[in-house]
Amino acid sequence: MGSLKNRDIISILDFTKEEILYILDLSKEMEKKGCPDILRGKVLANLFFEPSTRTRLSFEAAMKRLGGEVIGFDELGTTSTVKGESLKDSVKIIEGYCDIIVLRHFLEGASRLTADSISIPVINAGDGASQHPTQTFVDLYTIKNAKGVLENLTVGFLGDLKYGRTSHSLAYALAHFNAEMYFISPPSLRIPKDYMEELELRCVSYHEVDSIYEVSDKLDILYCTRIQKERFADPVEYEKVRGVYKLSKSIMDGLKVKDDLKILHPLPRVDEMDESMDTTSYAVYFQQAHSGIPVRETLLAVILGAI
Amino acid sequence: MGSLKNRDIISILDFTKEEILYILDLSKEMEKKGCPDILRGKVLANLFFEPSTRTRLSFEAAMKRLGGEVIGFDELGTTSTVKGESLKDSVKIIEGYCDIIVLRHFLEGASRLTADSISIPVINAGDGASQHPTQTFVDLYTIKNAKGVLENLTVGFLGDLKYGRTSHSLAYALAHFNAEMYFISPPSLRIPKDYMEELELRCVSYHEVDSIYEVSDKLDILYCTRIQKERFADPVEYEKVRGVYKLSKSIMDGLKVKDDLKILHPLPRVDEMDESMDTTSYAVYFQQAHSGIPVRETLLAVILGAI
Amino acid sequence: MGSLKNRDIISILDFTKEEILYILDLSKEMEKKGCPDILRGKVLANLFFEPSTRTRLSFEAAMKRLGGEVIGFDELGTTSTVKGESLKDSVKIIEGYCDIIVLRHFLEGASRLTADSISIPVINAGDGASQHPTQTFVDLYTIKNAKGVLENLTVGFLGDLKYGRTSHSLAYALAHFNAEMYFISPPSLRIPKDYMEELELRCVSYHEVDSIYEVSDKLDILYCTRIQKERFADPVEYEKVRGVYKLSKSIMDGLKVKDDLKILHPLPRVDEMDESMDTTSYAVYFQQAHSGIPVRETLLAVILGAI
């Protein structure tokens, strides 16, 4: 395994299975013991060209819990970009202020461009519809905690699989672990063809279905994502699919599922996951959200060479 | 007296007289000695769903002066709420990132809802027109510093008593200390009836008057608040009352007042308190603003179990 | 040399030559060695009434690298100013929360007013079209690093010299060092008359020219600034001058210049400095941007009495 020090985190595809497992193991230790002060004197720049409270606060809390400091901005409005500065210039300047950059940008490829322009490490916190790799580490960590293992699981992906970047990344990552995958979505929101081809290259066994009723009893993990109204040209079409991909306790009671099924959701949710689900044994999405801290602490510490 | 560790601070009514005095005594010590580093490793989340620079910076400075760290946001624009997430979901997630939440919200009851949804302590930094309890601790601290005692004072409340939450909370708190209260406001901005009934239940002796000229010579403390133009449907009505509730050095010279009268104002002021007042012996409103630091330091330290 | 402790930094004109050189020498040491923890327990308030990402992040990183803490805001929208509070009131209150204020304001003179209203030190991070003194320290530091000396240099100022406050301040500062100055701008963007008179008082030898072609071979330093479209009532006029004050590698190849010419730019740039310039031996503008850290670290440490 190559060194992870100074590594950029742009796509989950950049990490081997061995590296992923190593990060997850360290995250477990981090959650148990914490490591205050190991990043004392280090500065993280949180560059959020597009708002994302949860991700921003999660990186900020992780850095500060390890004794590091955070600078940054959380919207385009106050940046030099409004004066016409290029992203490349912005990051080349800010590189001189900090030890690591966390970037959220509305353009696909912005993170790779940034990493190629500067010499300090860059973490992609979401760029366009493409990658959000630290969320995938968090998802894998949550699954491993919930099931004990990552190998040989049957995983359902429910909701918007066309634009849902967290589902794409997680599917890629689970390809390392011999997962059987069910993609459950309306036909108009199927997983894009190039993702499919990538999964086939990796010999993943997958199935596309329209409804959770067809496959619920097979699943060890159900990964839900929101269907966004904005994706539909026709509101009637939206209203039609919306109800089908909504979970609640009473719907679960009518479904045949394994007792130890665990349900993840990257959050925020709107109405696709009813509050009545929160107290079921299936729900692990709040644990998933909280796992953002130990996993991001670990990634920061490893990349900055502190562990 | 029950333990204050892990206590939520939602309303000043949740605190006994004994607890209030205990907090004020500790604040005095805090102001004298400071306690750097006692909150090292702790993280406060400043969740400001409604802007309030002064309150936000004051909590931030207090936390950092004790060695703690702060994460958060200061307006709705960059939060997941704009994606439709419920407040309850937001705070349940952020609970995993921090040790204490300070919440400012535009809806009455938001703080109580938050405290009921999560297990870490919550401080209400203002919700709707209802409570802002840490401001009341600051006000009491300022009065005690200015007069030496809290018992048996004659206190005037001037300005908008209908919507002025700081006046309501302070009146409640002073009910513990046998205060005689004068509510000075235009008839349209009188203190609401249910607050009055609460004060009567607590056997407070109070009087409602239209003008400070009627009562100025009786007052030990004058608590001023701004009359907001927005409260008046008719601008003429606003212009009429506005002049009456405006203080300046020359107006003070024409009033009969006690030599040791002290005037508070939660600030910001616009034109209801002329700058000529600042150098009079009556003005303690800047000290009041500065007292926000030791009082909030104390509240944070006590609730987080550090003292 | 008077003590620099508790000194306000409002204008570069407030500093003697001796003081400037002292700051630059300390900055060099700071860059080499760093001083973690010397500002532990100190709080800086970054009050940005007008956005400026670069300057704000630069002060924030400097303070944090020395172990200090930062509070503040980065736009008018969330401040009490929107409720009508005066700047004087705002800073008098925030004075109680911190040890030093860094102010960026859209009104000329705002920093001086602030410094006169409060007793903690104030650093002007740009007010209106007038001063931005820490940028000047950074510029001088960059020139000294690039040329070894500050004395007897021939310096060209290119671009918008009418509104470009960084050029004005740098010209003032270089007046201490027997610089020969060339002001290169379209006639409509000449350096204002009162600046000229100030330079004459200081016996500076200067020349005004329309084009860099007239003087390029004489320059040791070329200080470029952006010509802002907004300055021109007539867009045709803008398009006419724009091309003339744009640099690129191919333009440089056609110019006669000294081998050791160094080009500075306060950044951000838009199209007045082509990216092809970045890899030439002339370009030092990214080093200049990065020098913001050691220079601001030094200024903060000196003013707060830590060195």
Interchain contact B286–C (C-beta under 8 A) = yes
Residues C222 and C297 in one domain: no
Q: What is the pLDDT of residue C78?
A: 54
Residues B67 and B161 in one domain: no
Residue B80 has pLDDT above 70, yes or no: no
Q: What is the pLDDT of residue B128?
A: 80
Average pLDDT for residues A206-233, to the nearest whole number?
A: 90
Interchain contact B77–A (C-beta under 8 A) = yes
Copy the structure tokens of residue C299. 């200024």
Residues A243 and A208 in one domain: yes
The packing angle between helices B292-303 and B53-65, to 10°, is: 60
What is the C-alpha separation between B264 and B221, in angstroms, rounded? 8
Inter-chain touch C96–B269, beta carbons under 8 Å: no
Domain that holds residue A86: 12-131+292-303
Residue B216 has pLDDT above 80, yes or no: yes
CB atoms within 10 A of CB A46: 23
Answer yes or no: is C1 within a domain.
no
CB atoms within 10 A of CB B241: 20
Q: Is C83 an annotated catalytic residue? A: yes
Just list the catalytic residues of B. 54-55, 83, 104, 132
Q: What is the pLDDT of residue A236?
A: 83
Determine what percent of chain C is predicted with pLDDT higher than 70. Answer: 96
Q: Is C55 an annotated catalytic residue? A: yes
C165 neighbors C131 (Cβ within 8 angstroms)? yes
Answer yes or no: is C3 within a domain.
no
What is the C-alpha separation between A244 and A231, in angstroms, rounded? 16
Q: What is the DSSP letter of A291?
A: T
Find the largest Cα–Cα distance for chain B: 57
- For C249, what's the count of Cα atoms within 13 Å in the CB-facing half-sphere? 7
Q: What is the pLDDT of residue C246?
A: 85
Cis amide leading into C51 (omega within 30): no
Residue A77 has pLDDT above 70, yes or no: no
User: What's B60's domain CATH number?
Assistant: 3.40.50.1370
Cis amide leading into B268 (omega within 30): yes
- Shortest CA distance to A263 belongs to which of A305, A222, A219, A304? A222
All residues at 6 or more sequence positions from A45 whose CB lies less than 8 Å from its CB, including other chains: A70, A71, A72, A94, A97, A98, A100, A101, A102, C57
CB burial of residue C138 (10 Å; 0-12, 13-18, 19+): buried
Answer yes or no: is C200 within a domain.
yes
Q: Using CB atoms, which residue from B78, B95, B96 is nearest to A51?
A: B78
Residues A65 and A181 in one domain: no
Which chains are adjacent to chain A, needing at least 3 Cβ pairs under 8 Å?
B, C
Just list the catalytic residues of A. 54-55, 83, 104, 132
Where does the pLDDT of residue A245 fall: very low under 50, low under 70, confident under 90, or very high at 90 and above? confident
Q: What is the pLDDT of residue B270?
A: 84
State the smallest CA–CA distance between residue C76 and chain A in angstroms.
10
Determine what percent of chain A is predicted with pLDDT higher than 90. Answer: 79
Q: Which residues of B touch C85 (CB under 8 A)?
A: 267-270
Q: Which residues of C touch A83 (CB under 8 A)?
A: 268, 270
Q: Using CB atoms, which residue from A72, A77, A94 is nearest to C75?
A: A77
State the smallest CA–CA distance between residue A53 and chain C in angstroms.
17
Q: Using CB atoms, which residue from B73, B88, B97 is nearest to A58?
A: B97
Answer yes or no: is A158 within a domain.
yes
Q: What is the pLDDT of residue B241?
A: 75
Q: Which residues of C touch A90 (CB under 8 A)?
A: 53, 268
Answer yes or no: is C227 within a domain.
yes
Annotated binding-site residue? A225: no
The order of strands in the sheet holding C43-48 is: C69-73, C43-48, C100-105, C122-127
Name residue, tokens 């939450």. B165
Q: What is the pLDDT of residue A80?
A: 63
The three state secondary structure string of A182-242 is EEECCHHHCCCHHHHHHHHHCCCEEEEECCHHHCHHHCCEEEECCCCHHHCCCHHHHHHHH
Query: In Å, how far are A123, B40, B239, C267 from A307, measured between CA atoms?
Result: 17, 21, 66, 37
Q: What is the pLDDT of residue C82?
A: 62
Annotated binding-site residue? C165: yes
Q: What are the counts of helices (DSSP H) followed by strands (DSSP E) for chain A?
A: 11, 9
What is the C-alpha separation between B228 and B216, in angstroms, rounded? 23
Residues C154 and C54 in one domain: no
Better pLDDT: C229 or B203? B203
Residue C20 has pLDDT above 70, yes or no: yes
B299 neighbors B134 (Cβ within 8 angstroms)? yes
Average pLDDT for residues A261-266, to the nearest whole number?
A: 97
Residues C105 and C181 in one domain: no
What is the C-alpha separation between A285 and B93, in angstroms, rounded? 9
Inter-chain touch A43–C61, beta carbons under 8 Å: yes
Our CA angle for A95, C72, B276, nearest 5°, is 150
Per-residue model confidence as pLDDT tens digits over C34-54: 998 999 999 999 999 988 888
The pTM for the full model equals: 0.94
What is the C-alpha separation between A15 and B289, in angstroms, rounded? 52
State the smallest CA–CA distance between residue B66 and chain A in angstroms.
14
Residues A151 and A192 in one domain: yes
Residues B164 and B249 in one domain: yes
Better pLDDT: C272 or A149? A149
Where does the pLDDT of residue C81 fall: very low under 50, low under 70, confident under 90, or very high at 90 and above? low
Better pLDDT: B54 or C293? C293
Copy the structure tokens of residue B53. 């620079």
Domains: count for chain C: 2
Where does the pLDDT of residue B43 fall: very low under 50, low under 70, confident under 90, or very high at 90 and above? very high
Interface of A with C in 86-115 (CB under 8 A): 88-90, 92-98
Residue C83 has pLDDT above 90, yes or no: no
Q: What is the pLDDT of residue C227?
A: 83
Annotated binding-site residue? B56: no
Inter-chain touch B96–A290, beta carbons under 8 Å: yes
Q: What is the DSSP letter of C46?
A: E
Copy the structure tokens of residue B83. 């994606």
Annotated binding-site residue? C226: yes
The three state secondary structure string of C230-280 is HHCCCHHHHHHHHHHHCECHHHHHHCCCCCCCEEECCCCCCCCECHHHCCC
Tally C-beta pairs within 8 A across A and C.
69
What is the C-alpha separation between C82 and A103, in angstroms, rounded? 31
Per-residue model confidence as pLDDT tens digits over A174-219: 999 999 999 999 888 899 999 999 999 999 999 999 999 999 999 9
User: What interface predicted TM-score (ipTM) does this complex get?
Assistant: 0.92
Interface of A with C in 183-242 (CB under 8 A): none
Interchain contact C119–B (C-beta under 8 A) = no
What is the C-alpha separation between C195 and C130, in angstroms, rounded? 11
Residues C145 and C78 in one domain: no
Helix runs in chain B, H state only? 17-33, 53-65, 87-94, 110-117, 133-147, 165-174, 193-201, 235-242, 249-254, 285-290, 292-303
Copy the structure tokens of residue C38. 């010397």
What average pLDDT does chain B have? 93
Inter-chain touch A73–C75, beta carbons under 8 Å: no
Answer yes or no: is B3 within a domain.
no
Residues B35 and B102 in one domain: yes
Do β-strands C221-224 and B43-48 pair in parallel, antiparallel, or remain unpaired? unpaired
Copy the structure tokens of residue B256. 């009969």
State the smallest CA–CA distance between residue C267 and chain B in angstroms.
27
Q: Using CB atoms, which residue from B48, B52, B293 is nearest to C97?
A: B293
Inter-chain touch B51–C78, beta carbons under 8 Å: yes
Which chains are adjacent to chain C, needing at least 3 Cβ pairs under 8 Å?
A, B
Annotated binding-site residue? B268: yes
Answer yes or no: is B2 within a domain.
no
Better pLDDT: C107 or B235? C107
Annotated binding-site residue? C135: yes
Residues C22 and C125 in one domain: yes
Phi, psi angle pair for A127, to nearest 5°: -130, 115
Find the largest Cα–Cα distance for chain C: 57
Interface of A with B in 42-71 (CB under 8 A): 48, 51-54, 56-58, 60-61, 64-65
CB atoms within 10 A of CB C121: 21
CB atoms within 10 A of CB B140: 25
Better pLDDT: B231 or C272? C272
Per-residue model confidence as pLDDT tens digits over B184-204: 998 888 999 999 999 999 999
C224 neighbors C158 (Cβ within 8 angstroms)? yes
Query: C220: helix, coil or strand?
Result: coil
Where does the pLDDT of residue A82 fall: very low under 50, low under 70, confident under 90, or very high at 90 and above? low
Query: In Å, how far are A28, A124, C1 from A46, measured between CA atoms?
Result: 25, 10, 41
Q: Using CB atoms, which residue from B78, B93, B98 is nearest to A289?
A: B93
Q: Which residues of C touch B289 (CB under 8 A)?
A: 92-93, 96
Where does the pLDDT of residue A120 fall: very low under 50, low under 70, confident under 90, or very high at 90 and above? very high
Q: Which residues of C touch A92 (CB under 8 A)?
A: 286, 289
Average pLDDT for residues A245-263, to the nearest whole number?
A: 94
Please name the amino acid found at residue B147: K
For residues C253, C254, C259, C265, the Cα torsion angle rounded to the nearest 10 degrees is -80
- For B12, what's the count of Cα atoms within 13 Å in the CB-facing half-sphere? 28
What average pLDDT does chain C have? 93
What average pLDDT does chain A have? 93
Q: Which residues of A touch C289 (CB under 8 A)?
A: 92-93, 96
Q: Which residues of B touch A75 (CB under 8 A)?
A: 77-78
State the smallest CA–CA distance between residue C39 and chain B in angstroms.
12
* Ranges assigned E (strand) in A159-289: 180-184, 205-209, 221-224, 262-264
Average pLDDT for residues C1-15, to the nearest whole number?
A: 93
Interchain contact A28–C (C-beta under 8 A) = no
Q: Which residues of A touch B77 (CB under 8 A)?
A: 51, 75
Indicate which of C71, C90, C91, C95 best probes the interface with B, i.e. most B CBs within 10 Å of its own CB. C71
Q: Using CB atoms, which residue from C51, C268, C289 is nearest to A96?
A: C289
Where does the pLDDT of residue B78 fall: very low under 50, low under 70, confident under 90, or very high at 90 and above? low
Residues B278 and B142 in one domain: yes
The packing angle between helices A193-201 and A165-174, to 10°, is: 10
Chain-centre distance for alpha carbon B25: 18
Q: What is the pLDDT of residue C191?
A: 93
Which chains are adjacent to chain B, needing at least 3 Cβ pairs under 8 Å?
A, C
Answer yes or no: is C61 within a domain.
yes
A28-31: list long-range contacts, CB under 8 Å, 24+ apart.
A28/A141, A28/A145, A28/A294, A30/A294, A30/A297, A30/A298, A30/A301, A31/A291, A31/A293, A31/A294
Average pLDDT for residues C186-197, to the nearest whole number?
A: 91
Q: What is the DSSP letter of B283?
A: B
Interchain contact B72–A (C-beta under 8 A) = yes
Inter-chain touch C51–A77, beta carbons under 8 Å: yes
State the smallest CA–CA distance between residue C169 and chain B in angstroms.
32
